[in-house]
Amino acid sequence: MKGQDLQYVLDWIAVQELVAEYGQAIDFGKDTGDWSRWVNCFTPQMTADYTRLFGGEPITMAREQIAKLGSDALAVFTRVQHATANTVRTHFKSATEAQAMAYADVGHFFPLNGVVQEWTVVIRYTHDLEKTAEGWRIRKVLLDPIHFRGNLLGLELARGKRLV
């Protein structure tokens, strides 16, 4: 793709919007229980690679299944807030394939003995993207945690530990 043509600019804007929507749709899903915005970020078949945070293997699934994955992973937290960087690096591989990298500070909030706690993870997201009939969508997401701050019990809660 040429950097000077109008289609490049339109695609670049669409990718920026998609990457911002990814994080905001997670927050919206957690707040409302409606995960449809997040589901809509993905291709019909997608891969979620959260192994650098949770271990295990990447998961390939139908996009409708990602809603349960997100809901279950965040169930222990009362709120989640993605602050995605407004600079997203996009590499267009072709007119229908791209890769975008973005950083986000993701705050997770949970109560402990009646006091709200915060655990924040600085993340680098790498999104493999595909241009579909619906527009640009995420075919694969890789979550790479860079730094943790706040109450590190949040990390243990994210990994499945539950308070008795």
Q: Domains of the chain, with CATH numbers?
A: 6-158 (3.10.450.50)
Residue 2 confidence (pLDDT): 53
Tell me which residue has tokens 């993340």: 123
Residue 163 confidence (pLDDT): 75
Residue 3 confidence (pLDDT): 54
16, 110 contact by CB (below 8 A)? no
| Separation in Å, CA 92 to CA 83, 95, 115, 153 | 24, 7, 46, 39
Q: Count how many Cα atoms sit within 13 Å of the Cα of residue 151 in the half-sphere of its side chain.
A: 14
How far apart CA 92 and CA 79 sit, in angstroms, is 34
Mean pLDDT, residues 118-126 taken together: 96
Length of the chain: 164
102, 83 contact by CB (below 8 A)? no
Mean pLDDT, residues 81-110 taken together: 93
What is the token pair recorded at 61?
């699934």
